A and B are shown apart, each in its own frame.
Chain A
Amino acid sequence: MVNSPYAYQLALYTADWVALGRAVLRVDWEPAREWTRFTAVRSGRLPATAVDLEAAVAPIWHPRAGEPYVGGFCVAAAFDRCTVEHVFDAGYFAGLAERALETLAKRKGVETLDTAHYITTAYPAPGTASPAARPMFVACETAPDLTLQNGSLDEITARATPDGEATPGDVPVFLPERVLDELAELTGAAGERETGGVLIGHLRRDSARREVFTEVTAQIPARHTEASSTRLTFTAETWTEVRSALALRGRGEVMLGWWHSHPVEAWRKGCQAADGPACQAGAGFLSLDDRALHRAVFPRAYSLALVVSNTGPGRPAFALFGWREGVIARRGFSTLDTTPDECSDRPSPEAVPDRPRHERCRAKRR
């Protein structure tokens, strides 16, 4: 539960600081609470089992403008007798500002209102602190089946190749080349339709380095989906099969995230300069739907979303996203060369019925 006794608003302006309008924010504080929790777990201040945290959000006033202008906010989360805090900047509201701008643009009958500024304000709202309607039953969060397995960051880094820009503070992520090969193959096979799946593996802790890192071990293709060139629906049956495949592997892996493809080449076919966003899209972005899926299904701070963009002949482009300061952001990762042992480490056909068989296990692509 997150207690926030303030109501937040956005004031929107054009690039020339002409006022566009105001928007009342319905802030989703859960990612901030989770980031606060995970940061404390990562640094060893909380055990990995600490999940049921009561959190309180307090605005931090802008250093020059003062109240009610928000420069950031602080989340204080309590577990057992321990309280951990984390300070967020106003960038947390950027996504909400984008949405508010879109709504405003629709209302004004224009396509976009870009290069705009926004200012966040907060006002005491005693009503928000009062308890909501009494729930029908009690639901207490319990620790999921997640164990931080031991691992050596130095050892895994020694056989890894950085890919993409690394941002200080991000949890290191390692993706095997053979998994990327599989994704490229599945993306190619899907043609002009989107396809996707789930990334599985381990969250590991290097006790010596006091650091946590993520090792993807395999991917499970999503079946029973409904796919078009611009949409991929993961159905209840999709999740049932993914969970079954994960259990059948029996290696203690957990769902670390998901992946899906963007058939960018197909989107661009016949595009005119003035066509819509799908035509203009480049490689490597998450749509609003993608972000909503990530929030709904992969809310933990270590969760990943990988976009495979099929932009033309040759290898597709990979873009990895993850949570950073409670916001979904693009991030770097490292690839792991395939070792001979890993040639037999793919999900067996029995584990994923009818999954595409790959003809070879590349020992090393580059």
Chain B
Amino acid sequence: MNTKGVLDLALEASDVSGQKTVSVSGLPADATVGELVQGLLAQMNLPQNDVGGNPMTYHARLEREGRHLHASERVGDVFQAGDRVVLQPNINAG
């Protein structure tokens, strides 16, 4: 499944609206889902803080299993080739 600790598979990640999609590769197998999410937010230019400067909460939903992944799960344990993960924020309108 992995060589030298890097997952030998590509994932697809998208924002919640499906308007932004990225193909992810070179993912360390021992990285956590939380680290994946933070990396995706930066690389997808998605806001990480709300208007008050507080960190926003994004959940990673694994489409294949239809569940939100826990931030502490290891990517090497949960992902398979062709998986798609969706970043779903808890976000306020006022």
Contact = CB atoms under 8 A, between A and B. Distances in A.
B39 to A, nearest CB: 5
B88 A236 contact: yes
Interface stretch (A6-14, A130-138, A173-181): A130-138
A343 B52 CA distance: 43
A292 B39 CA distance: 20
Contacts of A298: 17, 19
A30 B88 CA distance: 19
Interface of A is mostly: mixed
B93 A137 contact: no
Contact of A236 (B17, B24, B40, B61): B61
A236 B21 contact: no
Interface stretch (A61-69, A157-165, A225-233): A225-233
Contacts of B24: 137-139
A255 B92 contact: no
Contact of A292 (B40, B47, B90): B47
A235 B88 CA distance: 8
Nearest to B19: A300
A240 interface: yes
A140 B23 contact: yes
Nearest to B25: A138
Task: Classify chain A: how many residues form its interface, as a range.
Answer: 35 or more
A239 interface: yes
B27 A137 contact: yes
Given A136-B35, A296-B47, A239 B16 contact: yes
A236 B90 contact: yes
Interface string B23-55: 111111001000110011011111100110000
Interface in A257-295: 258, 260, 287-293, 295
Nearest to A300: B19
A55 to B, nearest CB: 11
Contacts of A243: 16, 18, 86
Interface string A219-253: 00000000000111111100110010000000000
B90 A234 contact: yes
Nearest to A255: B17
Contacts of A194: 93
A308 to B, nearest CB: 12
A313 interface: no
A73 B3 CA distance: 45
Interface string B60-94: 01000000100000000000000000101111111
A316 interface: no
A230 B26 contact: no
Contacts of B93: 194, 196, 231-234, 258, 260, 287, 289-290, 293
A297 interface: yes
A142 interface: yes
B25 A143 contact: no
Interface string A24-57: 0000001000000000000000000001000000
B12 A293 contact: no
Contacts of A138: 24-26
Contact of A299 (B19, B59, B94): B19
The CB with the most chain A CB atoms within 10 A, among B25, B27, B47, B86, is that of: B47
Contacts of A295: 47
A152 to B, nearest CB: 25
A140 B61 CA distance: 19
A244 to B, nearest CB: 9
Given A136-B31, A139-B24, A254 B94 contact: no
The CB with the most chain A CB atoms within 10 A, among B13, B23, B24, B51, is that of: B51
A233 B17 contact: no
Given A135-B43, A143-B21, A233 B90 contact: yes
A142 B50 contact: no
A147 to B, nearest CB: 12
Given A140-B22, A254-B18, A255-B17, 17 more contacts: A136-B27, A137-B27, A139-B24, A141-B44, A146-B19, A234-B90, A236-B88, A236-B90, A240-B88, A254-B17, A289-B94, A292-B47, A292-B91, A297-B91, A298-B17, A298-B19, A299-B20
5 contacts: A136-B35, A137-B28, A138-B26, A239-B88, A299-B15
